[in-house]
Chains A and B, each alone.
Chain A
């Protein structure tokens, strides 16, 4: 397993203590031979990472914040008094009352319940859109960095286009021109396709330096194919960087969703609830001029909260994985 000669291998070697029960779990899962070894190694790495991560104060704050939001999303059914599309019996657009803590919206739906339920789709869009842009960015970065030459040149010029066009402008035009109405799938695709270019740049730079390293040269000398080298030697070493980058991108994707919804190009509020389209509803209902501030303040604070959570975690991971950022 010396192939994985990345940064992650060297961190704290004190994780052997409880391999006993981990090993038993591996047996229960009927893992054997190399698969079992991989499982144990993955477990050990995870534990090592956790040991380092625990020491980061911002990282831990971020994690607690994220757990709160995840709890909100997971237990939405039991926290909320109403469903997201459930008529409350109260009139439309009422101020807060004991029955409707944040009042009701245009359709007479309970805003408090919708804010809680909103965490689900907002998180989901953030995660899936990030997966799309990370996948695309990693693929382009790996190809570009590994091949080099004219193929790198072509891929980088395309990356430049996506890097240089302001994200919101690109998102608006794509969301408007592409078919698919206002479906969640399309919104995810639009956010994903807008956000991959910087990842491609980061991965490419990393691959450039990795492919000159001795272990890649060795693999090539013993006759490993390109695919094998990229998959087994290069990718595992870029992965930590991609991972930290992905966490930060989730934050940006959630912001993107809210902005897209605000300009009326997001998912429709009668089909799904996101924090973005709750805010859009508030704007459409003139909540600002009517003085219904709670309707604007609470969903906005939710966005700030979850974006901060992911940013804290991302910064902490970046500090662990990115050697350039380690404290001098």
Chain B
């Protein structure tokens, strides 16, 4: 048990160090880089009044010595005060929370689909290794791996929105509609707008899950306990279901979390192409609008989310897999 606690604490400590380094990187990138930090954090726009500039200056502690600025930054981060968006003149955090719900809807739906479909096809491919399904799914995986997600999303719009007008080309809801209070029509409107973006994000990422599941299952299939199970006279289906798949699932736990970083990349591109107003869209728009506070906060929000997801997966794996405890 002692070694379990040690592994546990070590993972926790590593995650905390990574988190701290991300905080420092974020601070450094937006302030100490060449160029006047005041100019970066204060919008260069004549229509912005001096009182706004003054509020930003105070909020970020600009003009004070760097260590003091860093402490102010840490405090602001801890209290989720990221200043005002230059473009919307509203608190950055409120704006990002609003975007976050759309990203969660998109990434959540797609994740369930990509994990489900990816694992199923990985299992089928490994089961009949070298067969038609295996070869076909490998070709499919490689083709979409080689394809830029944004381009695939554009192709979806061209085919299923322009050529055959089945779905809207963008947005999360029809213009003027709101999500709440939810009723059947609003839900269908949401789904209608979600189909193409979710398809783009899902199909682009299935490959990773399918390949990993396949590899993992093939590894397990060569283990001796599988031979034993077969020798006991169990059917091929039972060997797969009760002995191989449960053991092959373990690596998936870590990989699902690791792949989150890639899924986020795909989500950014998908949101941008479909004008789906989530975090990715907000981040890319922030670069167009030179909206530094939004960019800085979004970067931090995403990095922290991924670090936490990785940590949870690590800890879950310790709990699930006794072999990890032995290291």
Contact = CB atoms under 8 A, between A and B. Distances in A.
Given A161-B22, A288-B158, A166 B151 contact: no
Contact of B18 (A161, A176, A308): A161
A174 B33 CA distance: 11
Contacts, number: 128
B312 interface: no
A275 to B, nearest CB: 9
A303 B145 CA distance: 11
Nearest to A307: B146
Task: Kindly state the interface size class of chain A when it binds its partner.
Answer: 35 or more
Interface stretch (B63-71, B114-122, B245-253, B258-266): B258-266
Interface stretch (A42-50, A104-112, A261-269): A261-269
Contacts of A296: 151, 154-155, 158
Contacts of B265: 166-169, 259
Given A157-B14, A161-B25, A258 B151 contact: yes
B154 A288 contact: yes
A297 to B, nearest CB: 8
A179 interface: yes
Contacts of B264: 166, 168-169
B29 interface: yes
Interface residues of B, number: 47
A259 B150 CA distance: 7
A293 to B, nearest CB: 6
B17 interface: yes
Contact of B283 (A160, A161, A169): A169
Interface of A is mostly: helix
Interface stretch (B95-103, B191-199, B236-244, B299-307): B299-307
Given A255-B148, A259-B148, A265-B287, A177 B29 contact: yes
Contact of B302 (A169, A251, A288, A311): A169
A164 interface: yes
B301 to A, nearest CB: 10
18 contacts: A161-B22, A164-B261, A165-B22, A165-B302, A166-B262, A173-B299, A176-B295, A179-B34, A255-B148, A258-B150, A259-B269, A263-B272, A288-B162, A300-B147, A300-B151, A300-B155, A307-B145, A308-B142
The 5 closest A-B pairs by CB, nearest first: A168-B265, A307-B146, A166-B264, A300-B151, A166-B261
Given A160-B18, A177-B30, A258-B148, 20 more contacts: A157-B17, A157-B18, A157-B21, A160-B17, A164-B261, A166-B302, A167-B265, A169-B283, A169-B302, A172-B287, A173-B299, A179-B35, A288-B162, A289-B169, A296-B154, A303-B146, A303-B147, A304-B146, A307-B146, A311-B145
